[in-house]
Structure 1
């Protein structure tokens, strides 16, 4: 039996099977250790970065775009990003249901005709 990372024949790597629950791996909610170490490193620079952003936002000689971007970043950190509005139109009318029913019937008829054609090609009439 070959070992390795492949998932071909003889591999020890478990393969996904449809309808089977996921097994192994981290438990839900367990933090990624690599990401946690990156956060710890980045946390060392938070105060300095916030100071730089505050200086840019307050610097009247800085370009307006830089000042606005710095101010936005500061606000996003202290107030949180503003909620975005998402609109979705859901149409569940009798007409749309009727259309979906007709479209489904047509698709099923097309599939049946295709299967019938394949059968006759293979076995004759």
Structure 2
């Protein structure tokens, strides 16, 4: 699938899942287990400017398209990324931004080695600080 075909699949899936008119959508993806696992969330704006939560109950074809976008980047030799942000307008314009988040990778590594949530919280706070402190930054 080409990159443009991937965006077409995503545009169709987003249009089908949003019950109302929309102006712009932000879809966030986190890639875990070297892109094999995917977590999605997002928001969209209505024509009146209201921010709504985007359902992530996408058809399998759409989630596979996001994973394929990740693989395109990886096979092209681009720098590693485990976050993806896609902004898409109702007119079909889009921007894509890949980034690296070390905390996501550390968490993924911890749980893939059988670590527990209690252990991760202690490790995370020691390395990145208490969650409450980061929320105010």
The question of a shared fold, defined as TM-score above 0.5 by the shorter chain, is answered with no
TM-score (norm 2): 0.19
Higher RCO (CA < 8 A, seq sep 6+): 2
Greater strand share, structure number: 2
The answer to which structure has the higher helix fraction is 1
What is the TM-score when the length of structure 1 is the normalising length? 0.21
